Amino acid sequence: MTTLTHFDTPVSEPINSQILQLVVDHLTDISAMEIAPSNLLYSIYQYAIGFEVHLYLQALGGSKGIAVELIVATDAQDPLKVTGFALYLPTKDDPQACAIAYMAELASHRHLGVTRAMVQEVVRRYPHTELSCSVARVAAFQAMGLQVIGTRGPQVLMNTRDHSSDGLTGVLDVAAIYNSTEVRQIHTYLLQRNGKKAMLDAEKKRDRQIDQLTARAKAFVAQAKD
């Protein structure tokens, strides 16, 4: 059994740290480029995307000027154990709409319907819900009542309706994370350990993957709309 708790104010440190651990452990699922642990850049994105989620968790309660809400799934047998989370952004000027920005569940709980339960709870609160996902996950979200409406970069854009909301969704500017001292330090360490050629190859591999995923998403959506 899964217990769901809604938050619109900052969560406790134990919950916060478990959510961030979920991000680090399930980065390939969360990142739009589906970066794999085999890529030398993986640790950079672990830090950067983890920090993105950290900033959004800090923004709960409106302290950063945007609306952020959170659904946390916990194990009914162990209420202190976080088994999944869905962080979403309510849409300004459209009280029915939101966009799910980050979502993950423990691999050990995938057969228990944690993601389905979290999505259903978000949709219950905001009937006009939008998210983006990999082509491989489209069927699962279709089974939850979402439909394909387009692409967003390397991912498929899905919505509970056949269109996006006309309202505006506030987001944080996270671009600075990738120019931060911490990211530069990680990159320097990786460069020293692996060499320039290996790092350049990793960047090319990442860029090729993004291009391939983007083409795949566009082809999938074009076929779905035929």
Is pLDDT of 78 > 90?
no
pLDDT tens-place string over residues 36-48: 999 999 999 999 9
pLDDT given at position 167? 95
pLDDT tens-place string over residues 12-42: 999 999 999 999 999 999 999 999 999 999 9
pLDDT given at position 79? 85
Structural domains in the chain, CATH included, are: 2-225 (3.40.630.30)
- Alpha-carbon distance of 169 to 100, in angstroms, equals 11
- Alpha-carbon distance of 188 to 210, in angstroms, equals 23
What's the predicted TM-score (pTM) here? 0.95
